[in-house]
Amino acid sequence: AQKACIFDLDGVITDTAHYHFLAWRRLAQSLNIPFDEEDNHRLKGVGRMESLAYILDKGARTVSDDELASLAHQKNKDYQDLITGISPTDLLPGILDAFAWLKSHGWLVGLASASRNAPQVLAGLKITEQFDYVADAGAIPNGKPAPDIFLDVAKAFGLSASQCVGVEDAVAGITAIKSAGMYAAGIGDAAVLTEADIVLPTPEGLPEQVFSIF
């Protein structure tokens, strides 16, 4: 039967998390709200408006809807400036080998990133053409940990969840894959990604340890 691999972007294919961190910290500092790496870790895989809500909540701040929109816009402008220099050298180890294996074995390849900037990041990495389908984060009603974005990709492929492997680095992302009923490969620490079916420290080994046994 046809199979598909559905990738998360940030933390799996490349490390944009650091750029998100710099942009969020700058915004938080402008509001006099402390923001550190630990906060950033909690925002992995969490959408833009939800992340902003977390920061405002941390500072016990409430703002008008207009100000909310302008703060989100400011963060995104800073983030987009930071990612203009992204190039293929920013790919995480093993990712190109994973794409090559999937192509040669006839799998479909999808992207399930919460980032509305995903198309720009893929273009900078020069991997746009590796994907048969890229979910539009802005068109998905419920963000991770809801399964919606992974189910959207499976639907676009006309596949059932049991034919799909999801690859994620975030706890919220692994929960999304498991709620979708898919096999979940975690990238990171097994002690953190406890819901995953298998955890690898980096994408290296995906073909041998995940794809070929699925």
Restricting to residues 33-62, name those near Mg ion by CB under 5 A: 45
Phi, psi of 177 (to 5 degrees): -65, -45
d(CA 25, CA 51): 12
Question: Please, which residue, 39 or 169, has the CB nearer to Mg ion?
Answer: 169
Residue 189 is among the residues annotated as catalytic for this protein: no
Q: Which of 3, 6, 11, 122 binds ligand B16 (CB under 6 A)?
A: 11
Phi, psi of 26 (to 5 degrees): -60, -45
Instruction: Examine residue 95 and tell whether it contacts Mg ion (CB under 5 A).
Output: no
Q: Which two tokens stand for residue 15?
A: 């490390």
Q: Which two tokens stand for residue 158?
A: 């006309």
Per-residue x/- mask for ligand B16, residues 107 to 146, rule CB under 6 A? ------xxxxx-----------------------------
Instruction: Examine residue 25 and tell whether it contacts ligand B16 (CB under 6 A).
Output: no
6 pairs with which residues across the strands?
110, 166
Question: Please, which residue, 43 or 174, has the CB nearer to ligand B16?
Answer: 43
Restricting to residues 150-169, name those near Mg ion by CB under 5 A: 169
Instruction: Give the number of residues in contact with ligand B16, rule: CB under 6 A.
Output: 19
Question: Are 57 and 68 spatial neighbours (Cβ–Cβ below 8 Å)?
Answer: no
What letter does residue 43 receive in the DSSP assignment?
T
Q: Which two tokens stand for residue 84?
A: 């203009």
Among residues 8, 78, 152, 169, the one annotated as catalytic is 8
Residue 78 is among the residues annotated as catalytic for this protein: no
- Write the CB contacts of 66 (distance below 8 Å, at least 6 apart in sequence): none
Restricting to residues 144-173, name those near ligand B16 by CB under 6 A: 170
Instruction: Examine residue 11 and tell whether it contacts Mg ion (CB under 5 A).
Output: yes
From residue 156, how far is each of 48, 110, 123, 149, 186 by CA, in Å? 24, 9, 21, 11, 23
d(CA 182, CA 163): 8
Instruction: Examine residue 175 and tell whether it contacts ligand B16 (CB under 6 A).
Output: no
Q: Which of 86, 170, 184, 210 binds Mg ion (CB under 5 A)?
A: 170
Catalytic residue numbers, as ranges: 8, 10
Where along the sequence are the contacts to ligand B16 (CB under 6 A)? 8-11, 20, 43-48, 51, 76, 113-117, 170
